[in-house]
Structure 1
Amino acid sequence: MAKCNFDIAYEHEVHEAKKIITEEITENNGEIRINDNSGEFTITVPGGEITGNVTFKNNALSISITDKPTLIPCNIIESVIQSYLE
């Protein structure tokens, strides 16, 4: 299991960030389940799946990638998720 953890700052209200992340993940071949301010997600990518956990905090997401294809570096995943909130 490949792992990485990172926080992403955002300027949205928590409910708006949840909506954006949910829409982006589902539009990009993924699934997300959110319960209160945390959730689990899976995104299908070439070579496998990216799975992880997300916690919504005031002005930041805390992301923990629990599994990913070996050839996809953590910084690329972080960059893509950050682009969802811009």
Structure 2
Amino acid sequence: MSACNFTIPFTKSATEILEKAKKTVESQGGTFEGDTTKGNFDVSIFGNTIKGSYTVNGAELNIDIIDKPFLVPCNMIESYLSSQLN
């Protein structure tokens, strides 16, 4: 069962969005693996790990957060990712 699940619509190509996502995650010392259809990522924020996976469905990025710090709400993760990718 995932800790969070949300969808981020995008207007750029899937390749552009995922390159931006990879750059953002790796700039925080995380790992990002996958292609333009699916993949996974993890990143450590203030010593706490956020792990997730993604799938691309048309012009939507579907994200499942599998593990996150208890005190970090899902809407905060969604808002941050939306602002970084669009």
TM-score, normalised to structure 2, is 0.90
Alpha-carbon distance between aligned partners in 1 of 2:83 and 2:18, rounded to the nearest angstrom: 14
- The gaps in structure 1 that reach 5 residues or longer are none
- The gaps in structure 2 that reach 5 residues or longer are none
Alpha-carbon distance between aligned partners in 2 of 1:26 and 1:71, rounded to the nearest angstrom: 23
CA change 1:72–1:2 in 2 (3 A) is farther
Alpha-carbon distance between aligned partners in 2 of 1:26 and 1:74, rounded to the nearest angstrom: 21
Shift >2 Å, 4+ stretches: none
CA change 1:43–1:70 in 2 (3 A) is same
Alpha-carbon distance between aligned partners in 2 of 1:49 and 1:2, rounded to the nearest angstrom: 14
State the superposition RMSD in angstroms.
1.6
1:25 aligns with 2:18: no
Identity of aligned residues (%): 33
Between 38-47 and 66-75, report the one with greater CA deviation. 38-47
Give the 3-state SS of the residue equivalent to 2:39 in structure 1. strand
**Partner residue of 1:58?**
58
**Partner residue of 2:83?**
83
- The alpha carbon displacement at 1:64 in A equals 0.2
TM-superposition CA deviations, 1:28-72 (whole Å, max 9, x none)? 231111145111100101241000001122211100000000010
